[in-house]
Amino acid sequence: MHPDKNNDCAGVFAGFPDTLQALPGIRLDAGAAGQAFIAAQGAQVLSWRAADGRERLYLSASTGGLARDGSGKAAAIRGGIPVCFPQFSDRGSLVKHGFARNLPWRAAEPAGNALALTLHDDAATRAQWPHRFDARLAVRLAPGSLEVTLTVVNTGDTPFAFSTALHTYLRVDDVRRARLFGLEQVRYQDATDNCNVKAQQEAELVFSGEVDRVYLAPPPALRLLEEGRPALRIAQSGFADTVVWNPGPDKARALPDMPDDDWLRMLCVEAACAAAPVPLAPGALWRGSQLLSVE
């Protein structure tokens, strides 16, 4: 049993000595295996650079982060790899994408190329979602790759169901010149068309405006290509779906925490359980991971 004050903000950043855009966190430096920055808020990976030094994750320069939203709680951080839990998007009664990305997590001491962070239920989370849980996020660097693994354990005595995602914002030079391979003939829910289910006919997905799709039973790995850049392999396990999202120019202008033209600089390719909730019995464990690799 863990104390209800486990997620209180007082002193919670003591183990997070570094900052990125004024956000407290931990900078993981694994030498030839690259670097990453993980924020205390949401256990959110905000930066990943392989040995070539190129930033692979998008982070909005105008994101709110620790700024407060209208409820007085920490605003979401726009970019990196937000952890959506226990709800994906607005597919439920909770705050959009769940509460985990707005809360402070606790970190263990970095172990070389790896870092683990934890979040547990407390009185505040149970007021929103009446279930006991342990969540753990593990971040691991290897030469040319970043692996993020989310584990959820039901520590209560009743079953629950949740949806989740690693809402990965990839940084691109110009999304209009990016191509995503591996989704030909895969069925998807099109959120720009009332979530109607369609099948992608094209061998490569290209981007000229808004895209918001939940791909059902996708292949275990996709490839993102940009002109003049090494390919990025995007693999996942444990997650049932893949979400591909870009707001396009019109919706980007409506986002207060993203510069108007930054829709050109990002593409979300997310490992997710979005189309159907994940049931978890008392004492049971669920685990899912995403592996990004420079080819």
pLDDT score recorded for residue 111: 87
Instruction: Please report, as a single letter, which amino acid is at residue 43.
Output: A
CA distance 226 to 274: 27
pLDDT score recorded for residue 71: 53
- For residue 229, pLDDT over 50 is answered with yes
Question: What is the mean pLDDT of the segment spanning 242-250?
Answer: 98
Nearest to residue 57, comparing CAs of 66, 67, 65, 48? Answer: 48
> Residue 81 in 3-state DSSP?
strand
Q: List the catalytic residue out of 97, 120, 131, 270.
A: 270
> Residue 48 in 3-state DSSP?
strand
Question: What is the mean pLDDT of the segment spanning 248-276?
Answer: 97
pLDDT score recorded for residue 131: 98
pLDDT score recorded for residue 67: 52
Number of domains forming the structure of the chain: 1
Q: List the catalytic residue out of 55, 167, 204, 226.
A: 167
The region of weakest confidence among 10-24, 132-146, 244-258 is: 10-24
Nearest to residue 197, comparing CAs of 276, 84, 252? Answer: 276
Find the CATH number of the domain harbouring 16: 2.70.98.10
Active site residue 270: yes
pLDDT score recorded for residue 40: 94
Mean pLDDT of the chain: 92
Active site residue 109: no
pLDDT score recorded for residue 45: 98
pLDDT > 90 in the chain, percent: 87
pLDDT score recorded for residue 68: 53
- For residue 3, pLDDT over 50 is answered with no
CA distance 142 to 116: 15
The region of weakest confidence among 13-22, 88-97, 163-172 is: 13-22
Best-predicted range by mean pLDDT (53-67, 95-109, 234-248) = 234-248
For residue 176, which phi and psi values (nearest 5 degrees)? -70, -15
**What domain range includes position 33?**
4-294
**Global pTM?**
0.93
pLDDT score recorded for residue 8: 41
pLDDT score recorded for residue 112: 85
- For residue 196, pLDDT over 80 is answered with yes
Q: Output the six-digit token pair for 114.
A: 């790896």
Question: What is the mean pLDDT of the segment spanning 182-198?
Answer: 98
- For residue 38, pLDDT over 90 is answered with yes
For residue 32, which phi and psi values (nearest 5 degrees)? -65, -20
pLDDT score recorded for residue 15: 81
Tens-digit pLDDT profile for residues 111-146? 889 999 999 999 999 999 999 999 999 999 999 999
Burial class (CB in 10 A: 0-12, 13-18, 19+), 181: middle
Tens-digit pLDDT profile for residues 71-92? 556 889 999 999 999 999 999 8
